[in-house]
Amino acid sequence: MFRDTAIDDLSFVTEVYNATIPSRLVTADTNPLSVDEIATWWRATRTDRPFWIIEHQQERIGWVRFRDFYGRPGYRHTAEIGIYIHPAHQGKGWGSQALQKAIDASPSLHIHTLLGFIFAHNEPSLSLFRSFGFTCWGHLPNIALLDNQPCSLEIWGKSLG
C-alpha cells in the first residue's frame, strides 16, 4: 500500500535515508540528516509531487518521493523519482512495486517524463530502472567525491507519453 507521508513518518524516513549513507551507493550525503532536515523536504511536498510511505501489513517498508526537475516552469511535466527501501526489506521486490506505482500515477500527476539520478556504480538501482524501460540519458563523470573516491552520476529517463 502507498499512502501520503505524515509528520509521524518523518523519523522512519530519516532512518531509512540515513541507512543508505554508509553504502555510498545512493546519496552524496556523507553524514546523517536530522529529522528536521527531512521535515524540510516534507513541508515542500506538493500534491502533484507526492511523498509516499510504502506499507505492507501495517509495517512501513520504505518511501517514494517525486521532486521537480530543475525548478523551471517549462520542466513542470518532468519529475525526479527517489525510492528508498528499508534495509530489512531490500531485495524483495518493493523497489519494483514502487517504481511501477510511480509510473502508473504519473499521468494523473501530469508527469510526462520520469528521471532517476543514479550513481554509475549502483548496479541494483541501474538494473531496476533498466528493467522498467528507462535508459541512460546522461553520464556525469566523477562529479562526486565519496571517501576520496570519485563517483560518476547517471541520469536515467523514461518518456511516459
CATH code of residue 30: 3.40.630.30
155: β partners: 117, 138
What DSSP string describes 115-143?
EEEEETT-HHHHHHHHHTT-EEEEEEEEE
Write down the pLDDT at residue 139. 98
Residue 137's pLDDT is: 98
Q: What is the pLDDT of residues 66-97, one digit of tens each?
A: 999 998 999 999 999 999 999 999 999 999 99
Query: pLDDT band for position 161 (50/70/90)?
Result: confident
In the chain, pLDDT over 90 holds for what percent of residues?
A: 95
Q: How far is the C-alpha of 29 from the C-alpha of 83, rounded, in Å?
A: 16
Segments forming the whole domain that contains residue 116: 2-159
Q: What is the mean pLDDT of the chain?
A: 96
- The secondary structure of residue 160, as a DSSP letter, is -
Least Cα distance to 81 among 141, 15, 160, 10 occurs for 160
Q: What is the mean pLDDT of residues 36-44?
A: 94
Count the domains in the chain.
1
